[in-house]
Each structure stands twice: as structure tokens, then as C-alpha cells.
DNA sequence: CATGAATGAGTATTCATTCAT
DNA sequence: TATGAATGAATACTCATTCAT
């Protein structure tokens, strides 16, 4: 009958974790919102922590797929590839803005779980980014630069609008959940790639 | 007798909030770490929420002073001024990296308190940034651009390393608490200002 | 397993509320006495206040039934009916002397809860008493009198021994929990009805 | 300068004890209302319990004076004397209706303090009442009756309106704090004395 | 006399989790 | 699978009281 208890729990959890944080959300709140019995959460995810890990995994599994998808276009050039990756990721984050906000916030806490997720997924992401950047430098598309510092900047540009959505809305009057924003913001990142990374073209 | 109970509470609170998040920290933990009685927290800050607000206010009061300090150099040119602001802010965040991490994370939750802090401090910050950018465009230093989108990027660049310190350390092997990092990262932001914002100089 | 947790809580609560007052009783005390976990109190009654309201309601629900039971004999005459009501009520209060003492004491505090209970139950009681008195006057059984002042007196006579049980025991050596007392005291009230309310019979 | 700190505390205490009960009132509430420092309460009354006992003593000291004052008229006859006592007491209770309500409610709890107060003051009161009743019977003014049961009734009549002031106001629309009520209610008690206690006069 | 700071025990309530059904 | 009852530990907060100043 209720075939989607599990899914209901996840949706409720994401929504509440986003609004109130992980520790600020009780499994009773989640159970109420999902209209299931509290014990079901333990049943499906062992514990509240298990539910969190499930959310992390779900998010980053797909996140990495998007990264890989963008990376696949590397043979069209490093610059094109990086823009492609940005575009795909921004779109993904924009489409899951709530989820994104909660995940990125929770990832800024230095816990055991976070460390594991980080080494599992962010190391792979770093591998792809590094590859693109290195190949770009080799092919003279990109100026030689400190790869780590470039990644810091790129990741800052990627995550900021979705982690600080209230700031964008309240202070800048930008609405990062709208596709329009994603499109325009991607262009800004492309500009950053062109101006900061790429070798300058002569006029 | 113990004259610095209040200060001890604040220091313990910042440290624990950073490590475990606001909701993940109990006032008992804080009292233990500060070696004071739990009741003192209520005595000085009314409630746990009051303590949080005190932290926010303390942080942003100083933050805004730094912004204003950088802004004061506007008569040396918009580009110079923005670089100055970046430099001052990055230094401040780097020196208070724990505090910064906790504050920025907590600011990403959409609560009443956060909204108030945001309208109080971020609106002022936006005013200064906007002014610098507008004047830069007027004086032909900066290319005309969408100010809001520029601010999004700049803020992303400013905050990222301190909000995601574990990521920098674990994945990129960068250490955002060191002055060395702050100096080098400031140069990167200066490059972004030069390349993305400024009018291109002819060779 | 333990099927009567709820009932155990109620019994423990009444006993402790009576002995120490509502505010003088902690839910820990109640849980200990009832040999259940503290959390069960919240589980069954939401809050300590909820437990109080449950007690009030339980008491007055039955109290009103007794009043109605006595009132049912109105066709045997107003005087007979009022005596019947007194008898039934005194018996009820005597049988639940602890409960009675606690409830009547708590009802003397001017709180929101009390006001609600009062308008729900005491208004109905007043309706019945008023009816009996009015009909008694109409049928020339009772002398015409101020109904409100008569009700004050009657209620004073009804409640006093059970509200001030320690006084009766310690000072007057009367034991209001014994059936013997109830029987004798009922006769006293009957005398009051005869002498103060009823039209005097000629010798 | 502040010469009446002590008095301010007492007034605040009575008012708050009446509204919220003894346990429902914190000494901080009292200190705030009295506009004195919390520590002053301990200074003047040793403890919160000491403040309560001071209130009890103050009340019953005066209460007993009133009883004695009424008793002094015994040589005008037992009936007259009892009416005099009622009149004086009702007036006193009416004038101090808040204080009365709180004291009588607190006296219904079976505590060590209450027991002491009871044996100190209520025993004396009983002595006087008993004397009046006995002399009344001796002098053929009163019919012979069980003195204890008569005292129960009389005390019930005396205390009820002031202990249950909210009931009188909300349900019966009587206002026991007004002098008018005291006067009229005294007449009702006189009627009770005449009809229930006194030997019937021939027409 | 009066006070602000501090304490330790206590408060009601909420938590994640378990388990028999 | 799914649930209502139950648990023990933890939560933020309040209490009366003390004491140096």
C-alpha cells in the first residue's frame, strides 16, 4: 500500500535538515512530516546517522556522475570541458538547491563521516579537475598556475550561490533556484575561465 | 573572584560551535570547557540563543570595521580599494578561522536570527561593495558588469577557504589558517579583480 | 508488557499533587512513584500541565454526574432533591478525599486552565442548583432568598471538610475520610436546608 | 533611602504567592516586583520558607486579634458574640482578600510549617469558638449540638468566599472584595446562627 | 545594608532508540 | 513491514542560596 515510505522519509529528511540543520531536526519531526512511524526510520536506515550518510551518498553519487559527464568532453578542449563541467554542476545544484544547501553546510563540519565522504568523492572530483587543468596547460590553452589555488576558486564559485541562498535572495535579490539564474551564472564562470585561466588571445 | 567567566564562555562556545555546530553543542559542554557553572551562561547571555547572537554580533561588528577600513582607501582608485578590502578581510578571516567557519556555516541556515544579522550587516557590506564597483565603472577602471553577479563571485572567493577548511586541508593540502595562505590567496583574488573586473590594458 | 502505565501515573500524580501541590511536585517524583519512565508522562499527557488538566477533567466529569444524579430526584420535591444532591456529593468527595483536596486547592488559583474548567463544569452545576432553588421557592417549600448567596453557603458547606482535612483531623478530631463522617455531616447539611432554606412549619 | 525594602518584599510576595502559589513563585520574581536585589530576601527572611512563615505569622497574628476582639463581647450574649466574631472576621478577610486567598490555600497543604501554624493559632481560635458555643448552650441561647460539626460549618461559611473568589466572580457574579459583599454576607451568617444554632423563639 | 557574580541541584521536556506485537 | 509503548540519557533552563565586595 504505502510503497514509498522510504522515499517519503528521505524527502522529509532533506527538507527538514535544510531548514533546521541535522542536529536541529528530530527523527520524530521527520516521521511526522513523512507520515510514517518513527520506528520505521531506524528500520530503514539503522539510525539517524545512517539516514544522514544515505543522504550524503545519494547526493555525491549523482554529483560525481555529473562531474564525469562533463569530464567526458575533454577531447573538445580543456577550456570547453571545464565550462561543460561547470554548466552541468551548476544546473544540478540549482535543480536540487535545498539538498545542496544542506549537504554543503553539513560538509563544513569536521566529523568522521564528513571526512570519509570527502576522501571518497572529493578526491575523485579533484582528480578530474586536476586532469583538465593539467591538460589545458600542456595544450597551451591555460596559463600555468597553481592548480590547488585554482580549484579553491572554482569550488568557491560553484558552491557559493547554493550554500548562501538566503543571502542571494535577501541581499542581492538573486534567485538561485531559478533556471534563469543558473544559465546566467554559468556565463559568469565561463568568463572567469576565459579571463583568469586561459591564455590571452591577441586582438 | 573569577573575573573572566564571560570571556571563558565565549571562547569555549566558539571552539565547540565550530567543531560540532550550534545544535550539536550543549551548554553543558560549553560550561565544562570554560570551567564555569552552566547557570552562568543563562546569567550572562539569557539563553543559548542569546549566546549565539552575541557571537554573531561580535563577529560582524569587527567584520564590518574591516570592510570600512578597506573602503576608506577608495580615493586611491576602485581597483586598489577592492584589493585593499579583500586583503583586510582575508587576513581577518584567516586570523579567526575557527570563528569564521562557524559563523559562515550558521549564516547559511534560514532562521529569524540570521535574517536579522544579514539585514543589519550584509546590507551595509553590500552598500560599500556596490559603491566601489559603481565608482570603478564610472572612472573607467572597471568594465560595466552586473554588480550583483560580481558580488556573488567575490563573496564566494572570500568565504570558501575558511568555510571549507577541512576540504582545503584534506584534499588540496592547503592550510588556510596560515598567514602564508592568506597572502598568496589575496594575490589570486587580485588577479581575479584585474582580469575579470578591470578594463584591459593594451600591451 | 506494562499495560497500566497510564493509570499508575494518574494515581501517583493525584497522591503527590495532594501532598505537595502541583508546583511542589516534580514529574520525576511522579514517575518514580508510578515506577514508570519520566518520558511516559510526556508521552501520555504531552506535558505536566496536560496531566493536571486530565486530572481536572476526570474529577469534574464524575462530579457533574453525581450532581445530575441528585438533580434527577427533583420531582420528589426541591428540599428532598437538594438533600439528595448533598448526600451524593458528600459521599463522592469523602470517597475521593485526596483527589478532592488537591482539585479544590488548585481551583482556587486564578489560572487560564482553572477558568476554563470553571466555566465548563461549575456553570452547569450552578444551573442545576439554581433550578432546584427556584422551583423550591415556587412550590413554597423554600423561603424566597438571594440564590447566589445561598449557593455560596452551600458550596462552602460542601467543600470545607475535604479541602481542610488536616484542620479537621488536627484541631477538631474529625476524620472526613470515614464514611461515618460523611453520613453525620450530611445530616448537618440537611438541618441547614431545613432551618435556613425551608418555610417554617407550625408546631 | 529605600527604607521600606522589607515591606516592598512582603507586598510583592503576597501578590505573587496569591497569583501563582508559593511554589509557582520564584524569589527572583519577588525581587523584581519589589525592585530589590534577590539577596535581600535571604538577608531579611533567611530563606524563601522563612518569608512564607513570616507571611503566615503576620496574617494569623492579626486574625487572632480579630477573633479575640469579637470574643470580648461575650458578656452581651453568646449569639451576639458569635455574630460579632463573624462580622469582624469577614470584614478582615474581605479587606485582605488576596492575602486571605493565598494563606487559606497554602494552609490546605499538609506540611510541617502548616501543622505548626495550625496548632499555634487554630487551636486558640477553637478555644474561643468552643467557649462561646458552650456558654450559649448553658445559657439556653443555643440548642445543644455537636460543637465540632458546628465549627466545621462556621469555618466553611467564613472562608469559602475568600478562598474561592474567582468562583464567586466568574460564576455567581459576587464580588467578595467589596465591603458591600462583606456586609450582606455577614447577615447571611447571622441568619445561619439564628436558625441553626439558636433556640427557636415562640411566635 | 545592598549588590552582582557564581554555584549546584533541580526543573520540565525532548531525544534517538528499542522491542513486543 | 509496520507500530504504539516504553526507556534512559540528554536537553536547555531555572531555582534558592551563598559570598566577596
Contact C179, C124 (CB under 8 A): no
Share of chain D above pLDDT 90, in %: 92
Contact B56, B137 (CB under 8 A): no
- Give the residue among A18, B107, D158, A182 at the shortest CA–CA distance from C163: D158
Contact: chain C with chain D (3+ CB pairs below 8 Å) = yes
Write down the pLDDT at residue A1: 43
pLDDT band at B202 (very low <50, low <70, confident <90, very high): low
Pick among B171, B180, B185, B194 to test the A interface (most A CBs inside 10 A): B171
Minimum CA–C1' distance nucleotide for A38: F3
d(CA A29, CA D76): 75
Q: Rounded to whole angstroms, how far apart are CA atoms C196 and D200?
A: 12
Spell out a b/e string for D123-152, using b for 16 or more CB atoms within 10 Å of the CB, else e.
Answer: eebbebbeebbebbbeeebbeebebbbbbb
Give the closest of D119, D148, D168 to C174, CB-based: D148
Predicted local distance difference test score (pLDDT) of residue C41:
95
Cell (9 digits) for A179: 533556471
| pLDDT at site D1 | 42
Q: Which residue, among A180, A34, A163, has the nearest Cα to A103 in the 3D structure?
A: A163
Question: Is the model more confident about A1 or about A185?
Answer: A185
Instruction: Sort residue C140 into left (φ over 0), alpha (ψ -120 to 50) or beta.
Output: left
pLDDT at position C3 is 55
Please give the CATH superfamily to which domain A53-197 belongs. Tetracycline Repressor, domain 2 (1.10.357.10)
Q: Pick the residue of A17, A151, A153 with the most B CBs within 10 A to test the interface with B by mutation.
A: A153
Task: Measure, in angstroms, how far nucleotide E17 C1' is from residue A39 CA.
Answer: 8
Kindly determine whether the C-beta of residue A29 is less than 7 Å away from any atom of nucleic acid strand E. Answer: yes
CATH annotation of A1-46 = 1.10.10.60
Contact A69, A125 (CB under 8 A): no
pLDDT computed for residue A203 by the predictor: 55
Three cell numbers written together for A72: 567526458
Residue by residue, DSSP assigns B87-152 as HHHHHHHHHTHHHHHHHHHHTTS--HHHHHHIIIIIHHHHHHHHHHHHHHHHTTSBPP--HHHHHH
The sign of the torsion formed by the CA atoms of D137, D142, D145, D146 equals: negative
Question: Residue A59's closest CA among A4, A129, A133, A114?
Answer: A114
Unique residue bearing C-alpha cell 553539513:
A106
pLDDT at C202: 59
Stretch(es) of chain C classified as CATH 1.10.10.60: 1-46
Matching residue, cell 472584595: D177
Identify the bridge partners of residue B142 per DSSP, sorted by sequence position: B198
Average confidence (pLDDT) over B99-111: 93
How far is Cα C114 from Cα C19, in angstroms, rounded to an integer?
Answer: 20
- Chain F positions within 7 A of any protein Cβ atom are 1-21
* B39 contact to strand F (CB, 7 A limit): yes
Q: Mean pLDDT across chain B, nearest whole number?
A: 94
Average of pLDDT values for A30-40? 93
Predicted confidence (pLDDT) per residue in D159-196, tens digit: 999 999 999 999 999 999 999 999 999 999 999 999 99
Instruction: Give residue numbers, 110 to 149 of C, with CB < 7 Å from strand F.
Output: none
Residue-level pLDDT at B203:
55
In percent, the amount of chain D with pLDDT more than 70 equals 98
CATH 1.10.357.10 residue ranges of chain A are: 53-197
Backbone angles phi, psi at D47, to 5 degrees: -150, 175
pLDDT (mean) for D87-93: 98
Chains touching C by CB (3 or more pairs below 8 Å): D
Mean pLDDT computed over B131-146:
96
Q: By percentage, how much of chain A surpasses pLDDT 70?
A: 98
pLDDT tens per residue across span B3-62: 588 999 999 999 999 999 999 999 999 999 999 999 999 999 999 999 999 999 999 999
Question: Cα(B9)–Cα(B13) distance, rounded to whole angstroms?
Answer: 6
Task: Decide: CB of A37 under 7 A of nucleic strand F.
Answer: yes
pLDDT digits 0-9 by tens, D48-57? 999 999 999 9
Partnered with residue B95 across adjacent β-strands are none
CA distance B30 to B9: 7
Q: What is the pLDDT of residue A5?
A: 85
- Closest by CA to C197, choosing from C128, C151, C155, is C151
pLDDT(B2) > 90: no
Question: What is the widest separation between alpha-carbon atoms in chain A?
Answer: 67
By CB neighbour count within 10 A (0-12 exposed, 13-18 middle, 19+ buried), where does D38 fall?
A: middle
3-state helix, strand, coil in chain D (%, to 5): 80, 0, 20
Which chains does chain D touch, 3 or more C-beta pairs < 8 A?
Answer: C
Report how far apart, in Å, the C-alpha atoms of B51 and of each of B30, B76, B108, D54, D135 are. 11, 40, 18, 39, 71
Burial status of residue D11 (CB atoms within 10 A of its CB: 0-12, 13-18, 19 or more): middle
Average pLDDT over residues A105-126: 93
What is the pLDDT at residue B4? 80
Say whether B55 sits in a helix, a strand or coil: helix
Residues in chain C predicted with pLDDT less than 50, given as ranges, are 1-2
Q: Which residue of A has its CA nearest to B107?
A: A164
**B1 CA vs F20 C1’ separation (Å):** 8
- Using a 7 Å CB cutoff, list residues 48-107 of C near strand E: 48-49
Residue A200's pLDDT is: 80
Give yes or no for a contact between C180 and D120, defined as CB atoms under 8 angstroms apart: no
Residue A61 CA, nucleotide F8 C1', distance (Å): 37
Q: What is the mean pLDDT of residues B86-105?
A: 95
Question: Grid coordinates 474567582 are at which residue?
Answer: D166
C-alpha distance from C3 to closest chain D C-alpha (Å): 32
3-state secondary structure chain A: CCCCHHHHHHHHHHHHHHHHCCCCCCHHHHHHHHCCCHHHHHHHHCCHHHHHHHHHHHHHHHHHHHHHHHHHHHHHCHHHHHHHHHHHHHHHHHHCHHHHHHHHHHHCCCCHHHHHHHHHHHHHHHHHHHHHHHHHHHCCCECCCCHHHHHHHHHHHHHHHHHCHHHHHHHHCCCCCCHHHHHHHHHHHHHHHHHHHECCCCC
Question: Tell me: the pLDDT tens digits for A183-201?
Answer: 999 999 999 999 999 998 7
Average pLDDT (D108-117) is: 91
Is residue C128 a contact partner of residue C67, using CB atoms and an 8 Å limit? yes
If you average pLDDT over residues A12-16, what whole number do you get? 93
Amino acid at each position: 500500500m504505502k510503497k514509498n515510505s522510504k522515499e517519503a522519509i528521505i524527502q522529509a529528511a532533506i527538507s527538514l535538515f535544510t531548514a533546521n540543520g541535522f542536529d536541529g531536526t528530530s527523527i520524530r519531526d521527520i516521521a511526522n512530516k513523512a507520515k510514517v512511524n518513527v520506528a520505521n526510520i531506524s528500520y530503514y536506515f539503522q539510525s539517524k546517522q545512517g539516514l544522514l550518510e544515505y543522504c550524503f551518498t545519494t547526493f555525491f553519487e549523482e554529483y560525481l556522475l555529473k562531474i564525469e559527464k562533463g569530464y567526458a568532453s575533454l577531447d573538445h578542449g580543456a577550456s570547453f570541458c571545464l565550462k561543460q563541467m561547470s554548466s552541468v554542476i551548476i544546473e544540478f545544484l540549482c535543480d536540487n538547491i535545498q539538498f545542496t544547501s544542506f549537504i554543503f553546510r553539513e560538509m563544513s563540519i569536521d566529523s568522521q563521516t564528513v571526512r570519509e565522504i570527502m576522501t571518497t568523492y572529493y578526491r575523485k572530483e579533484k582528480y578530474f579537475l586536476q586532469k583538465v587543468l593539467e591538460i589545458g596547460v600542456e595544450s597551451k590553452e591555460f596559463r600555468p598556475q597553481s592548480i590547488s589555488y585554482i580549484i579553491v576558486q572554482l569550488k568557491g564559485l560553484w558552491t557559493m550561490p547554493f550554500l548562501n541562498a538566503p543571502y542571494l535572495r535577501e541581499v542581492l535579490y538573486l534567485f538561485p533556484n531559478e533556471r534563469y539564474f543558473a544559465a546566467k551564472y554559468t556565463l559568469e564562470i565561463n568568463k572567469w575561465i576565459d579571463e583568469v585561466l586561459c591564455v590571452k588571445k591577441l586582438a
